Amino acid sequence: MTRESQRESDTDTDTGSREQPEPRPIDWTDPDTFAQALEQVETKEKGNYFEDFAEGDLLEHDPGLTLTRWGNESWLSQTLNHDPAYWRTDAAAERGFDEPPIHPDYLTAATLGITVEDLSEKGGYFLGRTDVRFPGTPVYAGTELHVESEVVSTATSGSRPEFGIVTWRTRGTDAQTGDVLCSYERTNMIPRREPVATDGGAATAESDEEDDEPTLPETFVTPDGGYFEDFVEALETVDDENAAVAYRHERGRTQDDVTVASLPLATLNTAKQHHNIDVMADSPSGDIVTYGDVTRSTALGHARSDEQTWREVGFDDEQFHTFVAAGDTVYAFTRVLAAEDDASTDAAGTVRFEHIAFNQDDEPVYSGTRTAEIQKRTA
Protein backbone atom coordinates (compact mmCIF):
# COMPACT_ATOMS: atom_id res chain seq x y z
CA MET A 1 0.00 0.00 0.00
CA THR A 2 1.36 3.47 -0.97
CA ARG A 3 1.42 6.39 1.45
CA GLU A 4 -1.33 8.24 -0.50
CA SER A 5 -3.72 5.35 -0.52
CA GLN A 6 -2.97 4.73 3.16
CA ARG A 7 -4.02 8.35 3.93
CA GLU A 8 -7.15 7.93 1.80
CA SER A 9 -8.18 4.77 3.56
CA ASP A 10 -7.48 6.26 7.02
CA THR A 11 -10.08 8.93 6.35
CA ASP A 12 -12.46 6.75 4.41
CA THR A 13 -15.78 7.30 6.11
CA ASP A 14 -17.65 4.99 3.69
CA THR A 15 -15.93 1.97 5.17
CA GLY A 16 -16.45 3.24 8.70
CA SER A 17 -12.75 3.09 9.51
CA ARG A 18 -11.30 5.79 11.79
CA GLU A 19 -7.84 7.11 12.26
CA GLN A 20 -6.40 5.27 15.23
CA PRO A 21 -4.08 7.14 17.56
CA GLU A 22 -0.55 5.77 17.39
CA PRO A 23 -0.20 3.31 20.33
CA ARG A 24 1.93 4.58 23.21
CA PRO A 25 5.49 3.34 22.72
CA ILE A 26 6.63 0.78 25.28
CA ASP A 27 10.24 0.02 26.04
CA TRP A 28 10.16 -3.78 25.71
CA THR A 29 13.90 -3.95 26.27
CA ASP A 30 13.50 -2.80 29.89
CA PRO A 31 13.66 -6.17 31.70
CA ASP A 32 11.15 -5.25 34.45
CA THR A 33 8.65 -3.87 31.97
CA PHE A 34 8.87 -6.95 29.76
CA ALA A 35 8.74 -9.42 32.65
CA GLN A 36 5.60 -7.70 33.96
CA ALA A 37 4.03 -7.75 30.51
CA LEU A 38 4.67 -11.48 30.21
CA GLU A 39 2.92 -12.00 33.53
CA GLN A 40 -0.09 -9.90 32.57
CA VAL A 41 -0.78 -11.17 29.04
CA GLU A 42 -2.56 -14.35 28.16
CA THR A 43 -0.67 -17.17 26.47
CA LYS A 44 -2.28 -18.51 23.31
CA GLU A 45 -2.14 -22.13 24.34
CA LYS A 46 -1.48 -25.10 22.11
CA GLY A 47 -2.92 -28.57 22.32
CA ASN A 48 -5.92 -30.15 24.02
CA TYR A 49 -6.58 -31.16 27.61
CA PHE A 50 -8.03 -34.52 28.63
CA GLU A 51 -11.47 -32.90 29.03
CA ASP A 52 -11.44 -31.95 25.34
CA PHE A 53 -11.66 -35.60 24.24
CA ALA A 54 -14.91 -37.59 24.21
CA GLU A 55 -15.39 -41.14 23.04
CA GLY A 56 -16.37 -41.21 19.36
CA ASP A 57 -14.89 -37.78 18.48
CA LEU A 58 -13.24 -37.74 15.08
CA LEU A 59 -10.28 -35.42 14.60
CA GLU A 60 -8.93 -34.62 11.15
CA HIS A 61 -5.37 -33.47 11.58
CA ASP A 62 -4.54 -30.36 9.56
CA PRO A 63 -0.83 -30.86 9.05
CA GLY A 64 -0.01 -32.97 6.05
CA LEU A 65 3.30 -34.36 5.01
CA THR A 66 4.65 -35.44 1.67
CA LEU A 67 6.56 -38.63 2.30
CA THR A 68 9.88 -37.90 0.67
CA ARG A 69 12.92 -39.93 -0.06
CA TRP A 70 14.89 -37.41 2.05
CA GLY A 71 12.62 -37.95 5.05
CA ASN A 72 12.75 -41.70 4.61
CA GLU A 73 16.51 -41.86 4.20
CA SER A 74 17.20 -39.48 7.10
CA TRP A 75 15.00 -41.59 9.36
CA LEU A 76 16.46 -44.91 8.21
CA SER A 77 20.10 -43.81 8.30
CA GLN A 78 19.90 -42.22 11.74
CA THR A 79 18.17 -45.29 13.19
CA LEU A 80 20.58 -47.74 11.48
CA ASN A 81 17.99 -49.35 9.23
CA HIS A 82 19.97 -50.57 6.23
CA ASP A 83 17.64 -53.04 4.50
CA PRO A 84 18.90 -52.71 0.89
CA ALA A 85 15.38 -52.84 -0.59
CA TYR A 86 14.81 -49.35 0.90
CA TRP A 87 18.10 -48.04 -0.50
CA ARG A 88 18.80 -49.68 -3.89
CA THR A 89 16.57 -50.12 -6.92
CA ASP A 90 17.88 -53.61 -7.79
CA ALA A 91 17.23 -54.84 -4.24
CA ALA A 92 13.81 -53.14 -4.31
CA ALA A 93 12.95 -54.89 -7.59
CA GLU A 94 13.88 -58.29 -6.10
CA ARG A 95 11.33 -57.63 -3.34
CA GLY A 96 8.68 -56.74 -5.95
CA PHE A 97 8.84 -52.97 -5.36
CA ASP A 98 8.83 -50.47 -8.26
CA GLU A 99 11.55 -48.46 -6.50
CA PRO A 100 12.86 -48.17 -2.91
CA PRO A 101 9.65 -47.52 -0.98
CA ILE A 102 8.86 -45.54 2.17
CA HIS A 103 9.76 -47.72 5.15
CA PRO A 104 6.91 -48.73 7.51
CA ASP A 105 8.85 -47.28 10.50
CA TYR A 106 9.05 -43.85 8.91
CA LEU A 107 5.44 -44.11 7.74
CA THR A 108 4.36 -44.93 11.31
CA ALA A 109 6.44 -42.11 12.80
CA ALA A 110 5.13 -39.60 10.25
CA THR A 111 1.52 -40.68 10.82
CA LEU A 112 1.92 -40.23 14.58
CA GLY A 113 4.01 -37.05 14.28
CA ILE A 114 1.20 -35.24 12.46
CA THR A 115 -1.29 -36.10 15.22
CA VAL A 116 0.69 -34.66 18.11
CA GLU A 117 -0.52 -31.07 17.68
CA ASP A 118 -4.13 -32.14 18.27
CA LEU A 119 -3.71 -35.14 20.53
CA SER A 120 -0.72 -34.79 22.81
CA GLU A 121 1.04 -31.45 22.45
CA LYS A 122 -0.32 -30.47 25.86
CA GLY A 123 2.13 -32.97 27.34
CA GLY A 124 1.81 -36.21 29.21
CA TYR A 125 3.22 -39.59 28.31
CA PHE A 126 3.07 -41.88 25.31
CA LEU A 127 2.04 -45.07 27.12
CA GLY A 128 1.62 -47.52 24.33
CA ARG A 129 0.43 -48.52 20.89
CA THR A 130 -0.99 -51.69 19.36
CA ASP A 131 -2.47 -53.08 16.16
CA VAL A 132 -0.01 -51.18 13.96
CA ARG A 133 -0.74 -52.32 10.41
CA PHE A 134 0.15 -51.23 6.88
CA PRO A 135 -2.76 -52.16 4.63
CA GLY A 136 -1.66 -49.87 1.79
CA THR A 137 2.01 -50.70 1.48
CA PRO A 138 4.24 -50.40 -0.48
CA VAL A 139 4.10 -46.61 -0.30
CA TYR A 140 6.36 -44.59 -2.56
CA ALA A 141 8.09 -41.23 -2.17
CA GLY A 142 5.82 -38.37 -3.23
CA THR A 143 2.74 -39.76 -1.45
CA GLU A 144 0.88 -37.08 0.50
CA LEU A 145 -0.23 -38.22 3.91
CA HIS A 146 -3.57 -37.28 5.45
CA VAL A 147 -4.19 -38.38 9.03
CA GLU A 148 -7.30 -38.68 11.19
CA SER A 149 -7.93 -40.06 14.67
CA GLU A 150 -10.99 -41.26 16.52
CA VAL A 151 -11.26 -41.21 20.30
CA VAL A 152 -11.73 -44.85 21.33
CA SER A 153 -11.87 -44.35 25.10
CA THR A 154 -11.11 -41.97 27.93
CA ALA A 155 -10.31 -43.05 31.49
CA THR A 156 -9.26 -41.66 34.82
CA SER A 157 -5.71 -42.34 35.92
CA GLY A 158 -5.85 -43.79 39.43
CA SER A 159 -2.22 -43.04 40.12
CA ARG A 160 -1.97 -39.53 38.61
CA PRO A 161 -4.93 -37.26 39.34
CA GLU A 162 -3.53 -34.51 37.16
CA PHE A 163 -3.78 -36.75 34.08
CA GLY A 164 -6.37 -38.79 32.24
CA ILE A 165 -5.76 -41.68 29.88
CA VAL A 166 -6.94 -41.41 26.27
CA THR A 167 -6.87 -44.04 23.53
CA TRP A 168 -7.26 -43.10 19.87
CA ARG A 169 -7.45 -45.10 16.64
CA THR A 170 -5.40 -43.28 14.02
CA ARG A 171 -5.38 -43.79 10.26
CA GLY A 172 -2.79 -42.37 7.88
CA THR A 173 -4.22 -42.29 4.38
CA ASP A 174 -3.03 -41.38 0.90
CA ALA A 175 -4.48 -37.87 0.57
CA GLN A 176 -5.18 -38.43 -3.14
CA THR A 177 -6.76 -41.89 -3.14
CA GLY A 178 -8.01 -42.20 0.45
CA ASP A 179 -6.30 -45.61 0.78
CA VAL A 180 -5.34 -46.40 4.37
CA LEU A 181 -1.54 -46.75 4.49
CA CYS A 182 -0.98 -47.13 8.23
CA SER A 183 -3.31 -47.56 11.19
CA TYR A 184 -2.88 -48.19 14.89
CA GLU A 185 -4.38 -47.67 18.34
CA ARG A 186 -2.39 -45.44 20.71
CA THR A 187 -2.75 -44.57 24.39
CA ASN A 188 -1.39 -41.47 26.14
CA MET A 189 -1.62 -39.82 29.52
CA ILE A 190 -3.01 -36.35 28.87
CA PRO A 191 -2.98 -33.45 31.36
CA ARG A 192 -6.35 -32.52 32.84
CA ARG A 193 -7.52 -28.94 32.96
CA GLU A 194 -8.73 -29.73 36.49
CA PRO A 195 -7.13 -32.54 38.51
CA VAL A 196 -9.60 -35.06 40.00
CA ALA A 197 -9.61 -36.78 43.35
CA THR A 198 -8.46 -40.40 43.08
CA ASP A 199 -7.43 -43.01 45.56
CA GLY A 200 -4.10 -43.42 43.76
CA GLY A 201 -2.07 -40.65 45.32
CA ALA A 202 1.48 -41.36 46.24
CA ALA A 203 3.22 -43.57 43.88
CA THR A 204 2.99 -47.02 42.95
CA ALA A 205 6.42 -48.55 43.19
CA GLU A 206 6.99 -49.11 46.94
CA SER A 207 3.59 -50.64 47.50
CA ASP A 208 4.01 -53.43 44.94
CA GLU A 209 6.71 -55.30 46.79
CA GLU A 210 6.26 -58.37 44.67
CA ASP A 211 8.53 -61.37 44.48
CA ASP A 212 10.97 -60.00 41.92
CA GLU A 213 13.03 -63.17 41.46
CA PRO A 214 13.67 -63.53 37.73
CA THR A 215 11.79 -66.45 36.24
CA LEU A 216 14.00 -67.12 33.24
CA PRO A 217 14.33 -70.25 31.17
CA GLU A 218 17.56 -72.18 31.83
CA THR A 219 18.72 -72.11 28.23
CA PHE A 220 18.76 -69.41 25.60
CA VAL A 221 19.20 -70.45 22.00
CA THR A 222 20.57 -68.17 19.29
CA PRO A 223 19.56 -68.88 15.68
CA ASP A 224 22.50 -69.74 13.43
CA GLY A 225 21.56 -67.09 10.89
CA GLY A 226 18.88 -64.60 9.97
CA TYR A 227 16.80 -66.59 7.46
CA PHE A 228 13.34 -68.03 8.12
CA GLU A 229 14.78 -71.58 8.35
CA ASP A 230 17.22 -70.44 11.07
CA PHE A 231 14.34 -69.21 13.23
CA VAL A 232 12.34 -72.41 12.62
CA GLU A 233 15.33 -74.60 13.55
CA ALA A 234 16.08 -72.60 16.68
CA LEU A 235 12.44 -72.80 17.82
CA GLU A 236 12.43 -76.58 17.25
CA THR A 237 15.20 -76.92 19.82
CA VAL A 238 13.23 -75.11 22.54
CA ASP A 239 9.97 -76.98 22.79
CA ASP A 240 9.78 -76.86 26.57
CA GLU A 241 9.42 -73.90 28.91
CA ASN A 242 12.98 -74.13 30.17
CA ALA A 243 14.40 -72.79 26.96
CA ALA A 244 13.79 -69.81 24.71
CA VAL A 245 15.17 -68.35 21.50
CA ALA A 246 16.52 -64.99 22.61
CA TYR A 247 19.65 -62.95 21.99
CA ARG A 248 20.98 -59.42 22.11
CA HIS A 249 22.21 -57.32 19.23
CA GLU A 250 25.63 -55.74 19.41
CA ARG A 251 24.97 -52.29 17.97
CA GLY A 252 23.99 -49.31 20.09
CA ARG A 253 23.01 -45.77 19.08
CA THR A 254 23.73 -42.88 21.43
CA GLN A 255 21.02 -40.27 21.30
CA ASP A 256 22.03 -36.84 20.05
CA ASP A 257 20.44 -33.63 18.76
CA VAL A 258 19.54 -35.31 15.49
CA THR A 259 17.71 -38.27 16.98
CA VAL A 260 16.15 -36.37 19.88
CA ALA A 261 15.03 -33.19 18.10
CA SER A 262 15.57 -33.32 14.32
CA LEU A 263 13.86 -36.61 13.50
CA PRO A 264 10.59 -35.87 15.34
CA LEU A 265 10.50 -32.31 13.98
CA ALA A 266 10.88 -33.72 10.47
CA THR A 267 7.62 -35.64 11.05
CA LEU A 268 5.89 -32.38 12.19
CA ASN A 269 5.78 -33.77 15.74
CA THR A 270 5.28 -30.68 17.92
CA ALA A 271 5.72 -32.42 21.31
CA LYS A 272 7.78 -30.07 23.47
CA GLN A 273 9.34 -33.18 25.03
CA HIS A 274 11.63 -33.45 22.01
CA HIS A 275 12.74 -29.88 21.33
CA ASN A 276 12.07 -27.46 24.22
CA ILE A 277 14.84 -27.83 26.81
CA ASP A 278 13.58 -24.77 28.66
CA VAL A 279 10.20 -26.33 29.48
CA MET A 280 11.53 -29.85 29.95
CA ALA A 281 14.04 -28.71 32.59
CA ASP A 282 11.10 -28.68 35.04
CA SER A 283 9.73 -32.08 33.99
CA PRO A 284 10.42 -35.49 35.55
CA SER A 285 13.05 -36.25 32.88
CA GLY A 286 14.69 -32.82 33.41
CA ASP A 287 15.64 -32.84 29.73
CA ILE A 288 14.29 -33.29 26.23
CA VAL A 289 13.63 -36.94 25.46
CA THR A 290 13.76 -39.15 22.41
CA TYR A 291 10.56 -39.64 20.37
CA GLY A 292 9.27 -43.13 21.15
CA ASP A 293 9.23 -43.97 17.45
CA VAL A 294 12.94 -43.14 17.19
CA THR A 295 13.74 -45.38 20.16
CA ARG A 296 11.77 -48.32 18.78
CA SER A 297 12.97 -47.83 15.20
CA THR A 298 16.58 -47.81 16.40
CA ALA A 299 16.09 -51.05 18.34
CA LEU A 300 14.33 -52.57 15.34
CA GLY A 301 17.20 -51.45 13.10
CA HIS A 302 19.61 -53.35 15.34
CA ALA A 303 17.36 -56.42 15.22
CA ARG A 304 16.86 -56.27 11.45
CA SER A 305 20.64 -56.09 10.95
CA ASP A 306 20.71 -59.69 12.25
CA GLU A 307 17.92 -61.04 10.01
CA GLN A 308 16.85 -61.16 6.36
CA THR A 309 13.67 -59.10 6.52
CA TRP A 310 11.27 -59.50 3.60
CA ARG A 311 8.31 -57.37 4.73
CA GLU A 312 6.92 -55.84 7.92
CA VAL A 313 3.43 -57.11 8.78
CA GLY A 314 2.62 -55.36 12.06
CA PHE A 315 3.36 -54.45 15.67
CA ASP A 316 1.40 -55.04 18.87
CA ASP A 317 1.60 -54.36 22.59
CA GLU A 318 4.18 -51.60 22.23
CA GLN A 319 5.06 -49.87 25.48
CA PHE A 320 7.51 -47.16 26.48
CA HIS A 321 8.80 -47.92 29.95
CA THR A 322 11.08 -45.02 30.75
CA PHE A 323 12.61 -41.94 29.17
CA VAL A 324 15.49 -41.94 26.73
CA ALA A 325 17.43 -38.67 26.65
CA ALA A 326 20.41 -37.23 24.74
CA GLY A 327 23.51 -39.15 25.81
CA ASP A 328 21.60 -42.39 26.44
CA THR A 329 22.45 -45.33 24.22
CA VAL A 330 19.72 -47.51 22.69
CA TYR A 331 20.49 -51.23 22.41
CA ALA A 332 18.20 -54.11 21.43
CA PHE A 333 17.26 -57.59 22.61
CA THR A 334 15.09 -60.04 20.67
CA ARG A 335 13.07 -63.09 21.58
CA VAL A 336 11.65 -65.25 18.80
CA LEU A 337 8.10 -66.32 19.64
CA ALA A 338 6.86 -68.26 16.62
CA ALA A 339 7.55 -69.06 12.98
CA GLU A 340 4.92 -70.17 10.46
CA ASP A 341 5.26 -70.97 6.80
CA ASP A 342 2.25 -68.86 5.86
CA ALA A 343 3.71 -65.68 4.37
CA SER A 344 2.25 -63.75 1.43
CA THR A 345 5.05 -65.12 -0.78
CA ASP A 346 6.88 -68.42 -1.16
CA ALA A 347 10.11 -66.49 -0.77
CA ALA A 348 9.49 -65.90 2.94
CA GLY A 349 7.95 -67.24 6.13
CA THR A 350 6.22 -65.36 8.95
CA VAL A 351 8.08 -64.83 12.23
CA ARG A 352 6.74 -63.26 15.42
CA PHE A 353 9.32 -61.50 17.57
CA GLU A 354 9.34 -59.76 20.92
CA HIS A 355 11.77 -56.83 20.85
CA ILE A 356 13.12 -54.95 23.86
CA ALA A 357 15.00 -51.67 23.53
CA PHE A 358 17.26 -51.05 26.50
CA ASN A 359 19.69 -48.38 27.62
CA GLN A 360 23.33 -48.32 28.74
CA ASP A 361 22.19 -49.25 32.27
CA ASP A 362 20.39 -52.34 30.90
CA GLU A 363 16.97 -50.81 31.67
CA PRO A 364 14.20 -51.70 29.21
CA VAL A 365 12.89 -48.53 27.58
CA TYR A 366 10.56 -50.08 24.99
CA SER A 367 8.96 -53.46 24.42
CA GLY A 368 6.65 -54.76 21.75
CA THR A 369 5.84 -57.70 19.52
CA ARG A 370 6.47 -57.63 15.81
CA THR A 371 5.29 -59.83 12.99
CA ALA A 372 7.50 -59.82 9.92
CA GLU A 373 8.00 -61.92 6.84
CA ILE A 374 11.56 -63.23 6.80
CA GLN A 375 13.26 -64.39 3.65
CA LYS A 376 13.85 -68.12 3.12
CA ARG A 377 17.40 -69.31 2.51
CA THR A 378 16.08 -71.73 -0.06
CA ALA A 379 14.06 -69.16 -2.02
Ligand X SMILES: C/C(=C\C(=O)O)C(=O)SCCNC(=O)CCNC(=O)[C@H](O)C(C)(C)COP(=O)(O)OP(=O)(O)OC[C@H]1O[C@@H](n2cnc3c(N)ncnc32)[C@H](O)[C@@H]1OP(=O)(O)O
Closer CB to ligand X, 146 or 160, in the complex: 160
Calpha distance 96→161 (Å, rounded) = 51
Closest to 353 measured CA to CA, from 212, 226, 183: 226
Burial class (CB in 10 A: 0-12, 13-18, 19+), 68: middle
Closer CB to ligand X, 227 or 358, in the complex: 358
Closest to 287 measured CA to CA, from 253, 319, 255: 255
Spell out, one character per residue from 134 to 163, where the chain touches ligand X: x when CB under 6 A holds, - when not. Answer: -----------------------xxxx---
Q: Minimal distance in Å, beta carbon 246 to ligand X?
A: 23
Q: Minimal distance in Å, beta carbon 5 to ligand X?
A: 48
Residue 102 contacts residue 141 (beta carbons within 8 Å): yes
Q: Minimal distance in Å, beta carbon 137 to ligand X?
A: 22
- Out of 168, 184, 231, 323, which residue is the one contacting ligand X (CB under 6 A)? 323
The Cβ of residue 194 has, within 10 Å, a number of other Cβ atoms equal to 9
Calpha distance 373→379 (Å, rounded) = 13
Closer CB to ligand X, 271 or 339, in the complex: 271
**Contact residues for 124 (Cβ-Cβ < 8 A; gap 6+):** 163, 188, 189, 190, 191
Q: Minimal distance in Å, beta carbon 292 to ligand X?
A: 3
- Out of 50, 75, 106, 126, which residue is the one contacting ligand X (CB under 6 A)? 126
Closer CB to ligand X, 81 or 120, in the complex: 120
Closer CB to ligand X, 37 or 203, in the complex: 203
Q: Which residues bind ligand X (CB under 6 A)?
A: 116, 120, 125-128, 157-160, 165, 187-188, 200, 204, 271, 273, 289, 291-292, 319-323
